[in-house]
Structure 1
Amino acid sequence: MSTQQDHIVRGFKATLVARAVYMLSSALLMLVLARFLLDPQGYGDLYWAISILAIVQLFADVGLGKSAARYISEYNEKDPGQIPHLLRSTMVYKLVVVSVVAYALLLFHDELASMLGEPSAAPFLAAGVLYVVVKSFQTFAQISFQGFNELGYSAAVQAIGGATRLVFAVGFVLAGFGALGALFGYIVGYALAGAFGLAILYFKFYREYDTAEIYEEGLSKRLLKYSVPLTATRSANVVDKQIDTFLVGVFLSSTAVGFYTLGKQITDFVLAPAESLGFTISPNFGEYKANDELEEARRIYESSLTNTLLLYVPAAAGLAIVADPFISLAFPSYEGAIPVLQALTAFIVLQAITNLTSDSLDYLGRAQARAVAKGGTAAANFGLNLVLIPAMGVVGAAIATVLTHSVYVAVNLYVVHSELSLRVRHLARTMGLIFGITGVMAIAVLIVTPMVSSFPMLIAAIALGAATWAVLAVASGLVDPGEVRSVLG
């Protein structure tokens, strides 16, 4: 294994462990809140408010964090003395922007709640002032470590945020503060994670560099300029992820939001490994491009894409099959989430590819192309939601997400191909094998699923599917057990 591969594997392990902590804490939070502490309406109230705050936060985050990470990655290679200047500029810009947005939300939260037709949401939006501030700086710290290619620290920020959010959200709800208490739990968790991240960023990175005497002319402007397409991409991405939840609340009810949110959260849990891999490998593409090593970039991307699809195509198919017994057993009050989850299983495959690809495009300097694609598909998603939610209910939102994200993934792959000249025929042959494995696995799971009536039987059905997949993946040559042992070791 090469030094670069070893670095990627170590980064992937750290990120995956942190993502596992984060997603396990998220799963526990979802389970405790949805099954024991909040009814579907309260659950929907909480996450409808969070969907609104995520859109508000766009104006607080803009694209500064990602832009800084891109230039940190680049200048860490060619002129490290500029790094402290970059960090100072970014922090100043962020403080100004976050302060303006937080103050505006504080002034107009009542008016915003009334405009949305839910005056009862005003307390959530008032608390959202703190939510927007702490989440913005927690995200900035996490992304900055990605730019330094120090993914262990980035992973730690994420893990701390997830674990503390669980503890405080559950604690505040148990103390009698309801869904609003859960939101304050989010705030405390993100505040602790952000404080940890910023402290590490200052003491372990900012202070360790020998600052260049002169800030490179034009670098600060390039930082802002590159943040523009990243802002557009992030805006489109957040709108794409949150507008469906928001519109479900507008057109239907808080209970429907609860059903839809539960389905989306389960898909997020399944997607953790792909997000970890994409977060890990993407900074390396900036280094490869700077060093004119595109052949190595192509090899790593193709290998990562193949492994991602080998995992997620069968996983999505299996989840679609067992969605009914899983929701019925785990969340008996949320059976309205079953068709949502089944529709979103196609989104799992698409988002797995996106998680692997999108950040890589930023580091390859193709953020503008991605921004255009994301903006177009986000607008289309908004339009489809306006049509499909009133016509089809909560499932319409899931279908709109799948249709528009398919277009976005196709464009992303085309742009990656234009940069790296992917071996299309080789990838197509591999996909044929993956779909064949998925078909056989799906038949095995379909046969036993009607017999599932308890958690042990559900686990047995999942285990059967996993065993079938593992045998076929090894027999086809797509998985080398020796290589797997090497990576895990």
Structure 2
Amino acid sequence: MSEQRKSRRASLATIVRGGSLYTVGKVVSDVGEFLLHLLVSRWLGAGLYGLFAYGKTLVFTALLLTNLGSDKSIVRYLPKYESNPEKRRFVLALAWVTSLGGGFAVASGLFVFAPTVAGVTLDQPGFVPVLRLFAVVLFVDTAANLLYATFRALEVIEYEVLSKRLLKPVLRVLAVGSAVLIGGTIYSVVVAMVVASVATLAVAGYLFVTRLEIRPRLRSPAGTRETVRDYYNYSLPLTAKDAGTVMQSRVDVLMVGVFLSSTAVGVYNVSVLLASVLYVPLLAANQLFAPVISRLQSQGRTADMQAIYRAVTRWIFTASLFFAAVLVVFRVELLGLFGPEFTAGTTVLVLFVGAQLCNAAVGPSGDLLMMTDHQYAVMLNEWVFGVANVVLTVVFIQFFGFVGAALASAGVLLARNLTKLTEVWYLERMQPYGRAFGKPLAAGGVAAAGMVGTHAATAAAGFGAWTGVAVGVAVGIGLYAGGLWMAGFEEVDYELYAQLVGSGQ
């Protein structure tokens, strides 16, 4: 086997290793998130749950801005400066100073102006102290994100998985569950969130200090004007990009709160939460795709980048397609778990499933653009489509309620992904598709038909709803796995398998 193929296979194995670890953690994290929202929605009801979801959405939204591009800069530059430790330490220090300063400013602003925010959104008793507690969560999570980015950049993702994906959701569920058991209010529920975030930061900090040798160093000979300029030339466009992402990713939930009610926020947020399951395979691949592509790009290995991009995109889509079919076929039963009023979100769920499936189909195109120094193109994308999302959401929500918000956001997400795909081709002459992409499509169609038929048959036979779900999912798994097996695997799949099991060296 040629050295090039061995190197390519090793890079794919690195990405899959990171993705596998991330997936394990993400499954635990998503189960924890599911249980968290289930506890709060069942205990507090749709109205108060809407307050909780709205405050949590504000924190998530602000987190996209408080890092000021530092998390992505860490992932970009620590691998790039692998042979220059002094420069690595300076860049890390610059990222920490920038991000912690931004996090403190934004969190302080939310704390001070909480009455104003509550007044223009969900003006309900008790919402102001809840927002102020979420401001504390915001600053703590900003600091933790710097540590997570450092773990990713140094390809020790297991430390991020342990702290963020395993420990944090478990602590949240335990803390919130304890608050609920003692008859706590929404205020005590958010206090529990603060405690869980602080504990998670402490563990991540301990792992950083005891397991990594790198330390931030601001006073350094590497701290030249050129280095600082390069850093901010990369991070500031990505900060602007994240501001555009805010207008796309969660502005719909915020607008539902402004124009409708806390109950509508609760129903809408649960639908978005379920659809976000489809984002897991893409997030998993992105964990180490970015640093691997950054390293390959600095070495000029374009052919390897193309091969990895194509293989990873197909794997992401294959994993996402089955979950999409399950969410659409069993949408009423899944939403009903949170309470009967939440089944009003079925149309919202279907719209977001379609949009997220398109997101999976274009693979890690955004990370590919960022790691090949096209950060300004990424920034422009986020702003153009972010503004479009704000405008369309405000207009559509007037006519169609929260379904209009979903229609606007899903449509914008579809258009943005098609644009990224076009840009990757135009700027790097890469595209992720081939004949192999038809295999999961065919298998997914058969599996979806099987689940629909099973669902109808179990209902007609008088079985309970969840019996139908269990049998239908089992049938779907069998049909999907069987269809993929019959279609056959690609050479790169076998090569990766050999790499992972340690054979074929």
Q: TM-score, normalised by structure 1?
A: 0.91
Within the alignment, does 1:412 sit opposite 2:417 as a pair?
Answer: no
C-alpha deviation, 1:209, in angstroms: 9.3
Contact 2:151/2:157, CA 8 A, preserved across alignment:
yes
Contact 1:138/1:157, CA 8 A, preserved across alignment:
no
What secondary structure is seen at the aligned counterpart in 1 of 2:323? helix
Q: Which residue does the alignment assign to 1:449?
A: 455
Q: Which residue does the alignment assign to 2:80?
A: 74
Distance 1:167 1:355 in 2: 35
2:317 to 283, 305, 309: 309
Greater shift, 290-299 or 351-360, is seen at 351-360
Within the alignment, does 1:337 sit opposite 2:360 as a pair?
Answer: no
Greater shift, 472-481 or 23-32, is seen at 472-481
Distance 1:210 1:60 in 2: 21
Distance 1:363 1:329 in 2: 41
Within 5 Å, which residues of 2 pair with 1:423-434?
A: 427=433, 429-434=435-440
Aligned CA distance change for structure 1 residues 484 and 261 (closer, same or farther; 3 Å): farther
Within the alignment, does 1:477 sit opposite 2:488 as a pair?
Answer: yes
C-alpha deviation, 1:207, in angstroms: 4.7
C-alpha deviation, 1:421, in angstroms: 2.8
Once the two structures are superposed, residues 74-103 of structure 1 have per-residue CA deviations (whole angstroms, 9 ceiling, x without a partner) of 112x31221222222222223322232233
Distance 1:270 1:175 in 2: 35
Distance 1:168 1:37 in 2: 14
User: What residue ranges of structure 1 are gaps of 5+ in the alignment?
Assistant: none
1:230 to 227, 238, 242: 238
Aligned CA distance change for structure 1 residues 211 and 254 (closer, same or farther; 3 Å): closer
Greater shift, 66-75 or 192-201, is seen at 192-201
1:15 to 10, 18, 22: 22
Distance 2:453 2:368 in 1: 40
- 1:406 maps to a residue whose letter is L
Once the two structures are superposed, residues 272-292 of structure 1 have per-residue CA deviations (whole angstroms, 9 ceiling, x without a partner) of 232111222221000000011
Q: Which residue does the alignment assign to 1:125?
A: 131
C-alpha deviation, 1:379, in angstroms: 1.1
Distance 1:394 1:212 in 2: 51
Distance 1:369 1:214 in 2: 32
Distance 1:211 1:345 in 2: 45
Aligned CA distance change for structure 1 residues 349 and 487 (closer, same or farther; 3 Å): farther
Contact 1:168/1:189, CA 8 A, preserved across alignment:
yes
Q: Which residue does the alignment assign to 1:182?
A: 189
Distance 1:258 1:341 in 2: 13
1:140 to 132, 146, 155: 146
What secondary structure is seen at the aligned counterpart in 2 of 1:16? helix
Q: Which residue does the alignment assign to 1:89?
A: 94
2:374 to 359, 366, 373: 366
What secondary structure is seen at the aligned counterpart in 2 of 1:271? helix
1:241 to 224, 242, 249: 249
Within 5 Å, which residues of 2 pair with 1:188-227?
A: 188-207=195-214, 214-217=221-224, 218-227=226-235
C-alpha deviation, 1:460, in angstroms: 0.7
1:380 to 374, 378, 388: 388
Distance 2:168 2:425 in 1: 36
Aligned CA distance change for structure 1 residues 320 and 434 (closer, same or farther; 3 Å): same
C-alpha deviation, 1:248, in angstroms: 1.0
C-alpha deviation, 1:296, in angstroms: 0.8
What secondary structure is seen at the aligned counterpart in 2 of 1:239? helix
Within 5 Å, which residues of 2 pair with 1:234-313?
A: 234-313=242-321
Q: Percent identity?
A: 20
C-alpha deviation, 1:52, in angstroms: 2.6
Aligned CA distance change for structure 1 residues 111 and 332 (closer, same or farther; 3 Å): closer
Q: Which residue does the alignment assign to 1:104?
A: 109
What secondary structure is seen at the aligned counterpart in 1 of 2:476? helix
- 1:268 maps to a residue whose letter is S
Distance 2:214 2:312 in 1: 35
Distance 1:30 1:104 in 2: 27
Distance 2:494 2:62 in 1: 48
Greater shift, 427-436 or 338-347, is seen at 427-436
Within the alignment, does 1:460 sit opposite 2:479 as a pair?
Answer: no
C-alpha deviation, 1:366, in angstroms: 1.7
Within the alignment, does 1:162 sit opposite 2:169 as a pair?
Answer: yes
Distance 2:139 2:468 in 1: 45
Greater shift, 372-381 or 310-319, is seen at 310-319
Q: Which residue does the alignment assign to 2:408?
A: 400
C-alpha deviation, 1:153, in angstroms: 1.6
C-alpha deviation, 1:329, in angstroms: 5.4
- 2:442 maps to a residue whose letter is G
Task: Work out the number of aligned pairs and report it.
Answer: 485
Greater shift, 412-421 or 392-401, is seen at 412-421
User: What residue ranges of structure 2 are gaps of 5+ in the alignment?
Assistant: 1-5
Aligned CA distance change for structure 1 residues 186 and 365 (closer, same or farther; 3 Å): farther
C-alpha deviation, 1:118, in angstroms: 1.3
Distance 2:236 2:139 in 1: 21
Aligned CA distance change for structure 1 residues 372 and 216 (closer, same or farther; 3 Å): same
C-alpha deviation, 1:63, in angstroms: 1.3
Distance 2:339 2:499 in 1: 36
C-alpha deviation, 1:203, in angstroms: 4.0
What secondary structure is seen at the aligned counterpart in 2 of 1:297? helix
1:114 to 92, 99, 119: 119
Distance 1:117 1:342 in 2: 26
Q: TM-score, normalised by structure 2?
A: 0.88
Contact 1:68/1:223, CA 8 A, preserved across alignment:
no
Contact 1:110/1:119, CA 8 A, preserved across alignment:
no
C-alpha deviation, 1:251, in angstroms: 1.5
Greater shift, 364-373 or 350-359, is seen at 350-359
C-alpha deviation, 1:420, in angstroms: 4.4
CA RMSD of aligned residues (A): 2.6
Once the two structures are superposed, residues 35-64 of structure 1 have per-residue CA deviations (whole angstroms, 9 ceiling, x without a partner) of x32211111110112223334444432212
What secondary structure is seen at the aligned counterpart in 2 of 1:118? coil
Distance 2:276 2:500 in 1: 23
Once the two structures are superposed, residues 252-310 of structure 1 have per-residue CA deviations (whole angstroms, 9 ceiling, x without a partner) of 11111111111111122343232111222221000000011111111111001112222
Aligned CA distance change for structure 1 residues 6 and 432 (closer, same or farther; 3 Å): closer
What secondary structure is seen at the aligned counterpart in 1 of 2:242? helix
Distance 2:61 2:213 in 1: 31
Contact 1:298/1:420, CA 8 A, preserved across alignment:
no
Contact 2:144/2:204, CA 8 A, preserved across alignment:
yes
Distance 1:325 1:88 in 2: 49
Greater shift, 324-333 or 251-260, is seen at 324-333
Q: Which residue does the alignment assign to 1:52?
A: 58
Distance 1:256 1:341 in 2: 14
Greater shift, 430-439 or 404-413, is seen at 430-439
